[in-house]
Chains A and B, each alone.
Chain A
Amino acid sequence: MAAQAKHDWADDDDLDELITSDLPPPQKIQNKDGSTTIIEYRYNDQNQKVKTTRRIRYITHREVVNPRVAERKSWSKFGQSVKDPAGPAPDTTSVGENIIFRPSINWRKDAKDESKDPNAQAMKDKLKDKKVKCRICNGEHFTARCPYKDTMAPIGEAAGADVAAGMGDEPSAAGPGGAGAPGAGKKGSYVPPALRGAGGAAGAAAGERMGGKYGERDDLATLRVTNVSEMAEENELRDMFERFGRVTRVFLAKDRDTGMAKGFAFISFADRGDAVKACAKMDGFGFRHLILRVEFAKKAQ
Chain B
Amino acid sequence: MRPVLLAGHERALTQIKYNREGDLLFSTAKDQHICAWFAHNGERLGTYQGHQGAIWTVDVDPTSTILASGSADNTIRLWEVKTGKLLKTWDFPTAVKRVEFNEDATQLLGVTEKRMGHLGTIVVLDIKIDPEAEQSDEKAMTIVCEESKATVAGWSYLSKYIIAGHEDGSVSQYDAKTGDLIYNVNVHELGSPITDLQWNQDRTYFITASKDKTAKLITAKELEVLKTYVADTPLNSASITPKKEFVILGGGQAAMDVTTTSARQGKFEARFYHKIFEEEIGRVRGHFGPLNTVAADPTGKGYASGGEDGYVRVHLFDKGYFDFNYEVERERLNRLAAQGGN
Contact = CB atoms under 8 A, between A and B. Distances in A.
Interface of A: 65-66, 68-69, 72-73, 75, 77-82, 84, 87-89, 91-99, 101-105, 107-108
Contact of B3 (A82, A91, A99): A99
B49 A95 contact: no
A81 B46 CA distance: 5
Contact of A104 (B6, B63, B315, B324): B324
B135 to A, nearest CB: 21
A99 B84 contact: no
B318 A101 contact: yes
B282 A107 contact: yes
Given A79-B49, A79-B84, A101 B324 contact: no
Nearest to A77: B46
B43 A89 contact: yes
A197 B312 CA distance: 67
A96 B318 contact: no
Contact of B64 (A72, A77, A107): A72
A181 B83 CA distance: 88
Place the interface of chain B in its size category.
35 or more
Interface in B27-56: 33, 37-38, 41-49
Interface string B266-285: 00000010000001111111
B91 interface: no
Contacts, number: 120
A80 B272 contact: no
A101 B286 contact: no
B153 to A, nearest CB: 28
B44 A92 contact: yes
A176 B341 CA distance: 75
Contacts of A78: 45-47, 83-84
B7 A107 contact: no
Given A101-B320, A105-B326, A96 B313 contact: yes
Given A79-B47, A92-B44, A98-B2, A108 B64 contact: no
Name the residue in B37, B45, B63, B317 with the highest tally of chain A Cβ atoms < 10 Å from its Cβ: B45
A107 B281 contact: yes
Interface in B184-208: none
A105 B324 CA distance: 9
Contacts of B87: none
B281 A73 contact: no
Contacts of B49: 79-80
B183 interface: no
Nearest to B49: A79
27 contacts: A66-B23, A68-B21, A72-B82, A75-B82, A77-B46, A78-B46, A79-B49, A80-B47, A81-B45, A81-B46, A81-B47, A88-B44, A89-B44, A92-B7, A92-B8, A93-B6, A93-B41, A96-B4, A97-B2, A99-B1, A99-B284, A101-B1, A101-B282, A102-B321, A102-B324, A103-B272, A104-B281
